[in-house]
Amino acid sequence: MDVQHIEVREIEIPLVTPFRTSQSLQHSRRSLLVRVVADGSEGWADLSVDQVPVFGHEYIAGTWLSLRELLVPAAFAGPVRAVRVAERMNGIVGHPAARSALEMAVLDAELRESGMSLANFLGGTRDSVPVGVSVGITDTAAELVDLVRGYLGEGYPRIKLKIQPGWDEEPIAAVRAEFGDGLDLQVDGNGAYRSSDLGLLTGLDRFHLTMLEQPFPAGDLLGHVRLAKRAATPVCLDESISSASAAAVAIQLGACSIVNIKPSRVGGYLEARRIHDVCQALSVPVWCGGTLESGVGRAANIALASLPNFGYPGDISATSRYFADDLCEPFELSAGTLRVPTGPGIGVEVDLETLERFTTRREVFSPPGRPATPAAS
């Protein structure tokens, strides 16, 4: 594949409603988009990182610099093929979201050139995948109940509540009281709790939750082990799972019985598939997390979620959950599921006019020896 250039854009897409977690409040989604332009093909990837390093060490300005100074040169240092590019980038410590996006954009271009869908390449086995909805922190429990009622009315089969110290028992109790124990309900602490909260967290067993996701910080595996031993609610790890080997260690320690896979967190879809395979071999189900991706990232995540060991609805959601306008045709909920794209690569086409409207800056990188393409800002 003859790559002509690699393009990086910063984009900002307004959210239909603000999204609040224990770590941040967002009114729009600022992120980066990577485009690989090759002779006769092109590939796209969503690079979903925050403006400031809240959930991890990566952030927009730093990620832009890592692409310019480290990762794009690594991609151009040999054959521009996804597996080879991933191998070269593995020699660079850190920057998993940036590595994931660059790998995915190259892989998308390759698959479009060959006519194969991403789902088929990864080993997907489904035509559609069940999806849930993640509900941010609200000002009141009554407001939260109204939001949940609306999402259930839209047909979402699973609800996830963001929680934090001081916003946990009351909102969970309100949702359970309104919708009953039959609701598939899970909660996510985003690492906001500490060992002193162990009693509170085990007390959440009375709400019969599907799972308790990442209550302690990413590095506190032993805290999760202690919780998993005491709690009846299954513990799921998210930020703690950075690779297939990290997943194996966490499972063998007994820190979790469910794993959330986010390709941007683990360095790419090739590593995400390896995590899936490790968890499947250890009889631990997985599900696909989300980071408010545009339709480009949503399409890739749906393809990943079509693999056989994805045993729970993912945080992928229909386009309308987050965006009134997106970069591609919207994904629509049907009987609690989203269709798996079947076209080549990620299976969606980017609307260039909409992309230009949401672009705040752009830079183009050319291979060594090829005349540079003028960059625009």
- Strand pairing class (235-237; 258-261): parallel
Q: Where are the alpha helices (DSSP H) in 239-336?
A: 244-253, 263-266, 269-281, 295-305
Number of helices and strands in the chain (H, E) = 14, 13
Q: Give CA–CA dist 178/361, Å, rounded.
A: 46
Residue 262 among the catalytic residues = yes
3-class secondary-structure state, position 360: strand
Residue 308: half-sphere exposure toward Cβ, Cα within 13 Å: 7
Specify the DSSP class assigned to residue 367: -
- Contact 45/300 with Cβ under 8 angstroms? yes
CA-based angle 331:307:67, to the nearest 5? 70
DSSP string, 220-255: -HHHHHHHHHH-SSPEEESTT--SHHHHHHHHHHTS
Residue 229 among the catalytic residues = no
Helix axes 96-114, 82-89, angle to 10 degrees: 170
Q: Give CA–CA dist 32/88, Å, rounded.
A: 22
Which residue among 9, 20, 99, 162 is the active-site one?
Answer: 162
Which residue among 35, 95, 262, 276 is the active-site one?
Answer: 262
DSSP string, 180-212: -TTSEEEEE-TT---GGGHHHHHHGGGG--S-E
- Number of residues written out for the chain: 377
Q: Where are the alpha helices (DSSP H) in the chain?
A: 60-66, 72-75, 82-89, 96-114, 118-122, 141-154, 169-179, 198-203, 221-230, 244-253, 263-266, 269-281, 295-305, 352-358
Q: Give CA–CA dist 148/136, Å, rounded.
A: 10
Q: N- to C-terminal Cα distance for the chain?
A: 28
Nearest to 46 by CA among 302, 271, 366: 302
Q: Which residues are catalytic?
A: 162, 262
